[in-house]
Amino acid sequence: KQEVTQIPAALSVPEGENLVLNCSFTDSAIYNLQWFRQDPGKGLTSLLLIQSSQREQTSGRLNASLDKSSGRSTLYIAASQPGDSATYLCAVKRGNEKLTFGTGTRLTIIP
């Protein structure tokens, strides 16, 4: 059974700092990995999608990497802003078209 872990569960950093969020998964036979953000009381917004054959994806200040062999992904946020405060979730997809989620990292950017 695939298990996805995100550590830490919560993180606070001053505005302007670069930061890294971690995601690990137990079964490396994944199809792709997707990072989402979720604002309080809202739905999930897709940030980045990395296919199993890719090493990284970038969108603006966000960069996600994938090391399938070690079962790890990181989400790098550059020059953090208060608007980046949210819960960040990673999810891995297996070949059976099912998505398994981590429990998320709650990020707070301190102005």
Partner 1 sequence: DAGITQSPRHKVTETGTPVTLRCHQTENHRYMYWYRQDPGHGLRLIHYSYGVKDTDKGEVSDGYSVSRSKTEDFLLTLESATSSQTSVYFCAISEGGPYGYTFGSGTRLTVV
Which string of x and - marks every residue 57-76 that binds partner 1 (by CB under 8 A)?
--------------------
3-state SS, residue 84: helix
Does position 90 bind partner 1 by CB under 8 A?
A: no
HSE-CB at 17 with a 13 A cutoff on CA atoms is 14
Tell me the closest approach of the beta carbon of residue 30 to partner 1, in angstroms: 12
Ramachandran area for residue 102 (φ above 0: left; ψ -120 to 50: alpha; else beta): beta
Identified binder of partner 1 from the candidate list 66, 77, 91, 109, rule CB under 8 A: 91
Phi, psi of 86 (to 5 degrees): 180, 175
Choice between 75 and 80, CB closer to partner 1? 75
Nearest to 89 by CA among 102, 76, 74: 102
Residues 7-36 that bind partner 1 (CB under 8 A): 31-32, 34, 36
Which segments of the chain does DSSP mark as H helices, in order? none
Count, residues near partner 1 per rule CB under 8 A: 21
Residues that bind partner 1 (CB under 8 A): 31-32, 34, 36, 42-46, 49, 51, 89, 91, 93, 97-99, 101-104
